[in-house]
Amino acid sequence: MTSVLDVPNSDLVQEMPSDQILSDRLKLVQAVLVEVLEAESGKELVQLLRRLGALSSPEGQALHAPEGDLLKVIESLELSEAIRAARAFNLYFQIINIVEQNYEQRQNRQRTQQEPINLRSLTTDNLSCVSGESFPSPPSSADERSGPSERLEHSLYEVAPPGQRHGSFAWLFPRLRALNVPPRYIQNLINQLDIKLVFTAHPTEIVRQTIRDKQRRVSRILDQLDLVEQPGYHHTWTAASLREQLTEEIRLWWRTDELHQFKPEVIDEVEYTLHYFKAVIFDIIPQLYRQFKTTLKQTFPDLEPPRYNFCRFGSWVGSDRDGNPSVKPEVTWQTACYQRNLVLEEYLKSIERLINLLSLSLHWSDVLPDLLDSLEQDQRQLPNIYDQLAVRFRQEPYRLKLAYVLKRLQNTRDRNNQLKSYSFNRLEPEEITAGQYYANGGEFLQELLLIQRNLKETGLSCRELEDLICQVEVFGFNLAILDIRQESSCHSEALNEITSYLDLLPCPYTELSEAERTHWLLSELSTRRPLIPGELPFSERTKEIIETFRMVRLLQQEFGVELCTTYIISMSHEVSDLLEVLLLAKEAGLYDPVTGHSTLQAIPLFETVEDLKHAPTVLSQFFTLPFCRAYLASNQTPYLQEVMLGYSDSNKDSGFLSSNWEIYKAQQCLQKTAAEYGLQLRIFHGRGGSVGRGGGPAYAAILAQPGQTIDGRIKITEQGEVLASKYSLPELALFNLETVTTAVIQASLLRTSIDEIQPWHEIMEELAARSRQHYRHLIYEQPEFIDFFNQVTPIQEISQLQISSRPTRRGGKKTLDGLRAIPWVFSWTQTRFLVPSWYGVGTAFKGFLDEKPAEHLSLLRYFYYKWPFFRMVISKVEMTLSKVDLEIARYYVHELSNSDEDRDIFLRLFDQIAQEYYLTCELVLTITGHKRLLDGDPTLQRSVQLRNKTIVPLGFLQVSLLKRLRQHNSQTTSGAILRSRYGRGELLRGALLTINGVAAGMRNTG
């Protein structure tokens, strides 16, 4: 079949017979897209798209010498024609993404329906099968390459049996049984399981919510087609009708603007992000618990399932103020109200369903006295409901009880809406009598448990009620926990202004040494005397810092302490950074210096390589402070310290390999530090969406962490377009949560001492140092590089995308240091360089291999086979290399350089990048033993190839539109006479549409 975009579609997927369904779906959507484009824009557009397809090779790379006539065609396109072509490519990519997601969802659904795995099939020679409860020990050195431990490690990464998903509960528990993991170990871990997934305020989500809604409708149509096309279904008219709906939906989509119409405000971002809870997550959480419970019982019938809330959610959206001046205290207050309103509306719908469902009559079913006593109390507190419904439900106690519950929920929602309309520090809600609304989720939960207990005592159960109890345990009345985040220097500057105003110090606070700061902060923390006056005669910035802590106090009073207990300090450098936050918390009544009790925990975020190295020292200094133990005892989990590690800035600072190794080492050292003081540690992983910011498959990433650092608990950020790829469809969301959970269990129970082999560490240290040196030489040590980056990539235009309330730079600084990691990675992705995700790796490997070629190659291959961390690093590099296209990247350099002189300089930089690329590809293939990139992951290989060819012409279009836009801007700035027929707004729109399209094709932004 010839595709409208001439991509390797059916021919590619037909290489694998199991992908016939995917091939058929691709044919269908491409045929529909052709039909829509011809109807909307004429056959000329379709012909243009097919002609542009000749710019790429059969392998999906840009041609080394593209046909000159085709480039002339692109350059001579009318702006309207170029925009239509860009929109067509964009639409194609988004539809292909939907098709792939639906295919993945279908595969997951089919596997879930398979019979549980046969335990006998696992007890083979490839598995350790130790009698009794003797748990095989891991190898203590690299030389121990056989025996039970070796087989144990091998078994964890081998292919899952037919019908089972690697990383599913149905795969994990039989695997643990076959490996003779003692049941008591499993039970202990299940009891302490604590997984937190935090949706962050990093808005790399480039797709409008309107478009997301259309994507879901297309997805539902494809789901329905799956049903009607099953064997034995003979209503062909139904399939034809669905195809008509699909055509209609895509046609409506074509006439919808892809770009955001306005720069979103923070509350808009809150709405965008929390939409996933409403659309998908809220409903799948009970399924996750049920799946865990059922599969556990099938293998370990005597073990107890976890708590309902073993997996919980947090959010930075509306509470992360680091570098975002739009996040005011009022915004965070409104966010909390918005979250509560969303979850209350879901509970109201559930209660209404239960009223219809629980129609039990006193004629046929008994109730316990405690339910009757509860109804008497309800009558006194809500007499109007009794008057309205007592007669109607006189023999139906459950319905009457739920009617009271419904009214209390409605009152709670109405009160919350009043709170939302007020400023957080001027609350005047209408008084509602106690007992007529729920003060917290716990009160609501007790009512549900009362009903459940009565049903159980009379021999009944109710799935709908059990699901609701699970949801209340997980979401409460707050939906998600809010983390506050602010940069460390903001607190220092605020204290500098406060101490200067009060004339407390002999010199400005910011000029004190670290020892002097720590001494003064400890003295202030030891007294109950207030430091900050009630009235705030300070700058707006300092007042906002102070008001933020006061707002947190009010949040805890209204919504419960559990809503907001974490204050993350980004760019943490020293122990004083933590003490500053605790002092400001003390001033707001969040920390009591006498008892040491605190309802707000200061969490350091270590981001740069130097800070990661210094992190264990900071933590050790903090743990030795006199008040620290009492302070940590007041945590929700006593004696637990949380530490966040940043993947984005450390990568930007030192490159991919060095960043990942420093984070790995930091985890080990921090864990040992906490253990030395008898404390627990939770690592909060600040992973981004792209590989250059710590992204990638969560399952493999968790398994790649040092063995002692998980211990049943983990906290991870979920960002940007990652939300759409993981949580837009129910089965995909369920699969993601399931694999994260199994990875945490697996990493906690099946530890090995591979992570402790010191010679391996020394080798990685050497590789990381070489990689960092080579990366920094390119990025930071060549003065022409910043101009290269600004001219060759679309960083200027990305900053004008209306996708974020947050500036692209810290403090508006136009330096590389001031640029945030998201637009940094986004820009490299658009140009197909993807430099942050691989640069320096090849040079590091080559230097090591040159020393002892055969011996060191054997060692690196052994690392790849045996060491999860090293395998994860190589796999991520391999994936990003497969998306690089140096020919299109060269075109960006050649065409977007401001002058011939710049072009000559930039081409020399390009040659450095190209040389490193080819070296890295060669050595990655040598280490993995693959003939082509991604040979070890055919599904991902197919997905990348499916898109690469079509991204090429879109890249050429982008370059053409960027040239026109920049020429227009240059003429405007210089005062020259404009000869362009198009306004800046039209040109910018065209360029931004291509950015949207490339992001959809690459399946990530930043």
Residues involved in catalysis:
202, 652
Q: Are 790 and 796 in contact, with CB atoms under 8 Å apart?
A: yes
* Closest alpha carbon to 505 in 524, 489, 479: 524
Q: Is 898 helix (H, G, I), strand (E, B) or coil?
A: coil
Q: Is 701 helix (H, G, I), strand (E, B) or coil?
A: helix
The three-state DSSP-derived secondary structure of 234-283 is CCHHHHHHHHHHHHHHHHHHHCCCCCCCCCCCHHHHHHHHHHHHHHHHHH
Cβ contacts of residue 731 below 8 Å, gap of 6+?
Answer: 105, 108, 109, 112
Q: Which residues of 552-588 are buried (b: 16+ CB within 10 A; e: fewer)?
A: bbbbbebbbebbbbbbbbbbbbbbbbbbbbbbbbbbb
Alpha carbons within 13 A on the beta-carbon side of 796: 15
DSSP state letter for 454: H
Q: Which residues of 338-374 are buried (b: 16+ CB within 10 A; e: fewer)?
A: bbbbbbbebbbebbeebbeebebeeeebebeeebeeb
Q: Report CA torsion sign: 696, 702, 705, 710.
A: positive
β-pair type (481-487, 311-315): parallel
Q: Are 648 and 837 in contact, with CB atoms under 8 Å apart?
A: no
The β-bridge partners of 198 are 314, 717
* Number of other residues whose CB lies within 10 A of the CB of residue 445: 17
Cβ contacts of residue 602 below 8 Å, gap of 6+?
Answer: 567, 569, 578, 581, 582, 585
Distance between CA 791 and CA 966 in Å, rounded? 10
* Closest alpha carbon to 717 in 215, 292, 341, 273: 273
Task: Write down the H helix ranges in 560-640.
Answer: 575-587, 609-623, 628-633
Distance between CA 473 and CA 452 in Å, rounded? 14
H/E segment holding residue 461? none
H/E segment holding residue 686? strand 680-686
The string of DSSP codes covering 814-871 is -STTTB-HHHHHHHHHHTT--GGGTTTHHHHHHHHHHHSHHHHHHHHHHHHHH-HHHH
Q: Are 767 and 840 in contact, with CB atoms under 8 Å apart?
A: no
* Closest alpha carbon to 743 in 166, 150, 132, 61: 166
Q: Which residue has the tokens 């990493």?
A: 747
The string of DSSP codes covering 473-523 is HHHTTTSSEEEEEEEHHHHHHHHHHHHHHHT-SSS-GGGS-HHHHHHHHHH
What tokens does 315 get? 């959010």
β-pair type (481-487, 566-570): parallel
Instruction: Report CA Rg, the chain.
Output: 30
Q: Is 307 helix (H, G, I), strand (E, B) or coil?
A: coil
Any idea how long the chain is?
1006
Q: How far is CA 822 from the centre of its chain?
A: 13
